[in-house]
Structure 1
Amino acid sequence: MRDQTMTTAVAMRTAATVRLDFELLQRGCLYLAIFNVVFAPFAPDPLAYGGGAFVPFLLMRIIGRPAMPKAIVFFLLWQWAQIFARAIQSVLDGESMGASIDGADVLYAYWYSLASLIALALAFRLVLGNLRSPTSAEYQAHERWRPPDLVTVYFAAIAASVVFTILGRSVGGLDQPFQAAAQVKVVALFLLCTYVFTTGRGRGALIAVIAVEILVGFTGFLADFRAVFIYVAVAALAARVKWTGATTVAALAWLVVLLTLALFWTSVKFEYREYVTGSEDSQAIKVPLDQRMAYLGDRMLNIGDTKWGETSYVLLTRFAYVDIFGQVIGVDRGTHEPIMARQWKDALAHVFQPRFLFPNKPVLSDSDVFVRLARSDPMEQIRAGTSISVGYMAENYVDLGFPGMLGGMFGIGLLLALVVRYFMTRPLPWMLKEAIVMGLAFNTAGTGMEVSLPKILGATVMFFLVWSLMAKFALPIAMRWLDRRAGVS
């Protein structure tokens, strides 16, 4: 009787444990939707605002299966945030999205983009919804390694990533395979994060690694410091961290730090880029690292001079990515693309005609596509801090229209999901498989809706080719080294 009582008590305590998983995500997305639906009547576009706020809950309901790779959450919600940011901007502007310079086409683009995400989610659910959940042994397989060795692997991965990046820039026609290989740093960092979250060991090492990532992120032209925040958040979801009051505080602090750094970068990036390149139109860095860091350090010391309100609005408008799609819709209505399915044909040719085999293949330029589809000067977009790509959703729309574009989006989702399924069924530790999918998600859609159709297709296929070889040959070598260091036979 006493044993039965103890068992019941343990079961009740286990049941009461709240963890960061799909169930908690769905609940949070539902609360977000309810809050914004209540606010929606006061927005310039009530239906668009309320409907957009409800989409994350719908996405999580579609993909919310126990074995669904957690990087899929990033892939979908990152792009949703870019779309919904436009609805928030309309509230701050005090005018409907339809009252903007591109008129009702922006509202069309908003709804088409949201529908595209649902099509992607359905493709993920179809291919990945029946993945077998890991056993306890599979889920905890990475825990047999030691924190210092995982840190060593991480720094080795950084060195390899730098080499791959340099080779990608130096060897013509091989930039995509080297870019895919460079995601080894993402995989190593993600694995370290999940190790710390599931075991509680190595917290100090992880904090040091995160600090390194943030500092290194600020040294380049594009400031990729945000990436580490994404890796850590998705790793926490993959590790199903226990959600407590302290976790809530930590998550809010994490978000505040990210937003503060993003606002700081937004306030300095135009002057910083001109300083390090000596030009408005170049991305070639000419200033040494110590001088770049000194410049940023000086600006950080004077952070109190930042106009936070104006900077926040600039960041929001830069993050929102619907107006360019709306512009493309307007141009397409007036001057339809004369070549049938040109964007898809160019994208497939880009994928299946590698440059090292077809050296005379025409170069696909995002700037040229922007001029052709948006009828705008790309340099004006660059000076405004906006990407020159119209984005893969807009390119897909030009070829297939609406609702035909949803078929194209579903096809892209199928391709991504099949590649993900391949890696999730390899005989590797579960968290290592989650890490590989994180690398795939960031490689294909780190810029979200801004990625072009050829790039998202090409990056997906190339990642599969490169990492299928790495999973077969390179990763087993690294795992044997980690096992030997941990004394695992």
Structure 2
Amino acid sequence: MPTTLTSSGSVARLPATGIACAVLLAIVNLPGENALLTTISLMVLIAGVALLWRPGEPPIGLFIFSYQWLQASISAFHANWLGIDVNAYTIYGGDNKLAVLLTLCGLLFLALGMRLGNGPPDRAVGPRCWQLVQARPLASWFFLYVAASIIAVAALQAAALVPGLAQPLLALAGLRWAFFMMFAYASFVRSHFGNPLFVCVFLGELAMSAGGYFADFKTVMFFTLFAMAMAETRLRGRHVLGGMILVGMIVFSGILWTAIKEDYRNAASGGSASQIVSLDLNDRLGTIAGLLARLDATSLADATGKMLHRISYVELFAVILARVPATIPHEHGALLLDAVSRPLMPRILFAEKGQVDDTRRTNYYTGGLSGIYRGTSISLGYMAELYIDFGPVVMMAVIFALGYLYGRLYKWLVQAPRAGPLLGSACACAILTQAALLEVSLAKLIGGVMVSVLLTALFIRFVAPGMRSWLEARRMMP
């Protein structure tokens, strides 16, 4: 049975371990073409981990920072591996090095904002969550997850039938990940590697997500990782091994998906090159299995390189730096104002509200580099859009404000008395995971978070108290 949280456990020493690994990586990269850039990148990583590591709590703030750090920095490390300058890494041109540096600077401000918004780590969260999941049998948490999944399916169906309410209905569907995370946490508290029921649920979620048009297999792994990190209050060898296995699954799944995604999407959409799925789940899974069976070492190596380029998301920002304000003037807040106003104008009441067309906006500011893709959308990313709005200095203040709001949101949910720390933590992860990608546009980022906060606030006000009373009604029987 896991121990309760202590400040002297090895969890508290994890940042020091991370610093040692970062220093070693910096030494390895010293002979590279981009040694200074990679060293700065690792210094930013160390600072972000130090600011955002919160023992016993879900690592959502650290996840937001570290995933975007990876997207900002991977081009420099990959360029070192290839023996080229980072400016030669992209086919788009522009100042890739400056784009990396500005993005890293923005991430520092984001991390600082989240840290100030969060306040100091709350050492009581871990023990309170641990006690709560012991108060009911695992079947109770499984029941909540199943109920949330049924509601999510109904919400997705309703969103397709009533497009004017699609955004709030999608936000409601997204709350099921909070219940998946609570079920996963309860499973890990009872067993270091989860019990058979959770394994079945995990595999089922993985199969269903892999059968979608975009194959969002990462989400179930990320929320499993959040639950694992929160449950394992003391890191031992088996915990590190479990985490490494899960991270390895994420990376390898990404390589496999990169290798087959074009052929799969073409088959799943019936050759229409649009974001629709015309095959049933069994046929989609069969298509995936057939495509995977054809892979060889060469295709996997090519897919690895493509995946690294895909994870990196500073190349379009580099082009923006060359074009704004030299060719196109700064927008002086117009993009941010549009993003903030959209959630306040529901489409069911404002039918004339235009659609968010990320690819069109990207083409406008980059001179047509994103082309026309019917099957996907290409965004500049929120940092590039903030640069277009405000330039390199004022954008940092806006990014800091975003981070502060993320931190305050997390703190509000964890401390919400109607929800309790476990439900609050899980809801915070479900909402803030939307903020973990550099490529998300301002309109989708702010709109998605605002609508999710509103739906979650209503849920906590009217539903959570009854659910919490039921969960805390009695201790788990032997």
> TM-score by structure 1 length?
0.89
Quote the Cα distance in structure 2 between the aligned partners of 1:126 and 1:65.
13
Asked if 1 retains the 8 angstrom alpha-carbon contact of 2:342 and 2:447, the reply is yes
1:82-97, aligned counterparts within 5 Å? 82-97=71-86
Aligned residue for 1:75?
A: 64
Asked if 2 retains the 8 angstrom alpha-carbon contact of 1:389 and 1:452, the reply is yes
Equivalent position amino acid for 1:32 in 2: C
Shift of 1:456: 1.2
Equivalent position amino acid for 1:161 in 2: A
Shift of 1:116: 0.9
Quote the Cα distance in structure 2 between the aligned partners of 1:300 and 1:484.
49
Quote the Cα distance in structure 2 between the aligned partners of 1:263 and 1:422.
38
The Cα offsets for residues 403-453 of structure 1, whole Å up to 9 and x where unpaired, read as 2210111121222223222212211332222111110122x225x011111
Asked if 2 retains the 8 angstrom alpha-carbon contact of 1:82 and 1:319, the reply is yes
CA RMSD of aligned residues (A): 2.6
Equivalent position amino acid for 1:181 in 2: L
Which residue, out of 314, 317, 323, partners 1:331?
Answer: 323
The answer to whether 1:123 aligns with 2:110 is no
1:418-457, aligned counterparts within 5 Å? 418-427=408-417, 428-442=419-433, 444-446=434-436, 448-457=437-446
Asked if 1 retains the 8 angstrom alpha-carbon contact of 2:135 and 2:476, the reply is no
Asked if 2 retains the 8 angstrom alpha-carbon contact of 1:68 and 1:128, the reply is no
Which residue, out of 179, 184, 187, partners 1:193?
Answer: 184
Quote the Cα distance in structure 1 between the aligned partners of 2:17 and 2:431.
26
The answer to whether 1:316 aligns with 2:305 is no
Aligned residue for 1:228?
A: 220
Shift of 1:120: 1.0
Shift of 1:260: 2.1
Secondary structure of the structure 2 residue equivalent to 1:404: helix
Asked if 2 retains the 8 angstrom alpha-carbon contact of 1:68 and 1:129, the reply is no
Aligned residue for 1:37?
A: 26
Asked if 2 retains the 8 angstrom alpha-carbon contact of 1:150 and 1:192, the reply is yes
Asked if 1 retains the 8 angstrom alpha-carbon contact of 2:134 and 2:476, the reply is no
Which residue, out of 315, 334, 347, partners 1:355?
Answer: 347
Equivalent position amino acid for 1:413 in 2: G
Asked if 2 retains the 8 angstrom alpha-carbon contact of 1:382 and 1:388, the reply is no
Asked if 2 retains the 8 angstrom alpha-carbon contact of 1:141 and 1:429, the reply is no
The answer to whether 1:465 aligns with 2:454 is yes
The answer to whether 1:404 aligns with 2:394 is yes
* Residue 313 to residue 280, structure 1, CA distance change in 2 (3 Å): farther
Identify the range of structure 1 (328-337 vs 259-268) with the bigger mean alpha-carbon deviation. Answer: 328-337
Quote the Cα distance in structure 1 between the aligned partners of 2:457 and 2:355.
27
Shift of 1:48: 0.7
Aligned residue for 1:214?
A: 206
Asked if 1 retains the 8 angstrom alpha-carbon contact of 2:103 and 2:383, the reply is yes
* Residue 487 to residue 215, structure 1, CA distance change in 2 (3 Å): same
**Structure 1: gaps spanning 5 or more residues:** 1-10
Asked if 1 retains the 8 angstrom alpha-carbon contact of 2:415 and 2:421, the reply is no
* Residue 94 to residue 68, structure 1, CA distance change in 2 (3 Å): same
Quote the Cα distance in structure 1 between the aligned partners of 2:368 and 2:279.
32
Shift of 1:258: 2.2
Aligned residue for 2:170?
A: 179
Asked if 1 retains the 8 angstrom alpha-carbon contact of 2:118 and 2:411, the reply is yes
The answer to whether 1:114 aligns with 2:104 is yes
Quote the Cα distance in structure 1 between the aligned partners of 2:312 and 2:252.
18
Asked if 2 retains the 8 angstrom alpha-carbon contact of 1:106 and 1:326, the reply is yes
* Residue 289 to residue 282, structure 1, CA distance change in 2 (3 Å): same
Shift of 1:328: 1.6
* Residue 381 to residue 39, structure 1, CA distance change in 2 (3 Å): farther
Equivalent position amino acid for 1:479 in 2: R
1:126-145, aligned counterparts within 5 Å? 126-130=116-120, 132-134=122-124, 136-137=127-128, 139-145=130-136
Quote the Cα distance in structure 2 between the aligned partners of 1:298 and 1:109.
40
Asked if 2 retains the 8 angstrom alpha-carbon contact of 1:141 and 1:430, the reply is no
Secondary structure of the structure 2 residue equivalent to 1:233: helix
Identity %: 23
Identify the range of structure 1 (211-220 vs 291-300) with the bigger mean alpha-carbon deviation. Answer: 291-300
Shift of 1:339: 4.4
Secondary structure of the structure 2 residue equivalent to 1:174: helix
Quote the Cα distance in structure 2 between the aligned partners of 1:244 and 1:185.
30
Shift of 1:357: 2.9
Shift of 1:400: 0.8
Quote the Cα distance in structure 1 between the aligned partners of 2:324 and 2:160.
35
Secondary structure of the structure 2 residue equivalent to 1:177: helix
The answer to whether 1:243 aligns with 2:224 is no
Quote the Cα distance in structure 2 between the aligned partners of 1:209 and 1:406.
41
Quote the Cα distance in structure 2 between the aligned partners of 1:341 and 1:46.
35
* Residue 437 to residue 329, structure 1, CA distance change in 2 (3 Å): same
The Cα offsets for residues 125-165 of structure 1, whole Å up to 9 and x where unpaired, read as 11211464426445522321211121122122222112222
**Structure 2: gaps spanning 5 or more residues:** none
The Cα offsets for residues 212-253 of structure 1, whole Å up to 9 and x where unpaired, read as 111111110011111121111121222234322222332222
Equivalent position amino acid for 1:455 in 2: K
Aligned residue for 2:159?
A: 168
Shift of 1:17: 4.7
Count of aligned pairs between the two proteins = 469
The Cα offsets for residues 315-346 of structure 1, whole Å up to 9 and x where unpaired, read as 11111111011112112143123643221121
Identify the range of structure 1 (149-158 vs 299-308) with the bigger mean alpha-carbon deviation. Answer: 299-308
Quote the Cα distance in structure 2 between the aligned partners of 1:338 and 1:187.
39
Aligned residue for 1:57?
A: 46
Asked if 2 retains the 8 angstrom alpha-carbon contact of 1:25 and 1:60, the reply is no
Quote the Cα distance in structure 2 between the aligned partners of 1:242 and 1:364.
45
Asked if 2 retains the 8 angstrom alpha-carbon contact of 1:69 and 1:437, the reply is no
* Residue 29 to residue 451, structure 1, CA distance change in 2 (3 Å): same
Asked if 1 retains the 8 angstrom alpha-carbon contact of 2:114 and 2:403, the reply is yes
Quote the Cα distance in structure 2 between the aligned partners of 1:300 and 1:414.
43
